[in-house]
């Protein structure tokens, strides 16, 4: 089972929006691998969060890759604005796209990395015929819409099944998990086969600060995939 290591992808959905610029700088200094922007339209999910202007305002502050997680119904028309805002990767939900293959083509044609995010109830068979067209699969380990929810361990077999499918097909596609990732839940998610971990509220509720939270969560993930000496 291939492991690319442990990459922390902070979601700023639960950050203090009045100091978002300082927060992304803090996260870069803490050694995270990217910034995960949770975009919600109030239709596909029962919440509204942020748009491309917020992302564009933070783009010049850090050198980190940005990924836009579009929890948006029929996102095709909005994708250019997120790429323009500085997102190198755009994740869309098959549950929200009538023509998923075409939507992924829209992302690729703009020079961004296409990716899919699948809800807990969505089977891998729904994305089987686009695996060759994407750079990453995000397995939701909560139902989308809010930070601070409880991790769904029932998604671990889905992560493992996807890892085995990708290995069988010889596809270099990243597996990311998203929702309820903490120091206590990352070990099992990493053992299941994920290598990128979206972490939101667990970063911002750590009394020792973001830097401590990033290090602790990464270490707990690494300890789960590093063979005992």
Q: How far is the CB of 13 from ligand DX5 (least distance, A)?
A: 4
Rank residues 153 and 167 by Cβ distance to ligand DX5 and give the closer one: 153
Cross-sheet strand order for the sheet of 7-10: 7-10, 196-199, 174-178, 136-140, 113-118, 89-92, 66-71, 35-40
Rank residues 179 and 193 by Cβ distance to ligand DX5 and give the closer one: 179
The 3-state secondary structure of the chain reads CCCCCCEEEEECCCCCHHHHHHHHHHHHHCCCCCEEEEEEECCCCCCECCCHHHHHHHHHHCCCCEEEEEECCCCHHHHHHHHHCCCCEEEECHHHCCCHHHHHHHHHHCCCEEEEEECCCCCHHHCHHHHHHCCEEEEECCCCCCCCCCCCHHHHHHHHHHHHHHHHHCCCCEEEEECCCCCCCHHHHHHHCCCEEEECHHHHCCCCCHHHHHHHHHHHHHHHHCCCC
Q: How far is the CB of 148 from Zn ion (least distance, A)?
A: 13
Q: Choosing from 178, 184, 188, 211, which is the catalytic residue? A: 178
Q: Is 158 in the site for Zn ion (CB under 5 A)?
A: no
Residue 52 contact, options Zn ion, ligand DX5, none, Cβ 5-8 Å cut-off depending on partner type: none
Site for Zn ion (CB under 5 A): which residue of 26, 30, 39, 69?
Answer: 69
Q: Is 201 in the site for ligand DX5 (CB under 6 A)?
A: yes
Q: x/- contact string, 31-50, with ligand DX5 (CB under 6 A)?
A: -----x-x------------
Rank residues 14 and 136 by Cβ distance to ligand DX5 and give the closer one: 14
Residue 86 contact, options Zn ion, ligand DX5, none, Cβ 5-8 Å cut-off depending on partner type: none
Choose the stretch contacting ligand DX5; rule: CB under 6 A; options: 124-132, 138-146, 167-175, 183-191: 138-146
Residue 199 contact, options ligand DX5, Zn ion, none, Cβ 5-8 Å cut-off depending on partner type: ligand DX5
Q: Is 13 in the site for ligand DX5 (CB under 6 A)?
A: yes
Binding site for Zn ion (CB under 5 A): 38, 69, 178
Active site residue ranges: 38, 178
């Amino acid at each position: 089972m291939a492991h690319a290591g442990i990459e922390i992808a902070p979601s700023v959905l639960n950050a203090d929006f009045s100091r978002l610029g300082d927060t992304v700088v803090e996260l870069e200094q803490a050694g995270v691998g990217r910034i995960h922007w949770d975009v919600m339209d109030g239709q596909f999910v029962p919440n509204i969060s942020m748009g491309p202007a917020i992302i564009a305002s933070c783009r010049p502050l850090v050198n980190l890759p940005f990924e836009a997680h579009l929890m948006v119904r029929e996102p095709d028309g909005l994708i250019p604005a997120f790429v323009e805002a500085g997102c190198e990767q755009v994740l869309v939900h098959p549950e929200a796209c009538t023509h998923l293959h075409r939507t992924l083509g829209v992302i690729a044609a703009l020079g961004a990395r296409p990716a899919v995010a699948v809800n807990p109830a969505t089977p891998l068979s729904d994305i089987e015929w686009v695996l060759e067209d994407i750079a990453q699969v995000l397995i939701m380990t909560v139902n989308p819409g809010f930070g601070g929810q409880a991790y769904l361990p029932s998604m671990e077999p889905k992560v493992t099944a996807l890892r085995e499918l990708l290995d069988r097909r010889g596809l270099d596609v990243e597996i990311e998990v998203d929702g309820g990732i903490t120091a206590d839940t990352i070990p099992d998610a990493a053992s299941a086969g994920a290598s990128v971990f979206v972490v939101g509220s667990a970063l911002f509720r750590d009394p020792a600060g973001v830097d401590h939270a990033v290090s602790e969560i990464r270490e707990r993930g690494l300890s789960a995939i590093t063979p005992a000496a």
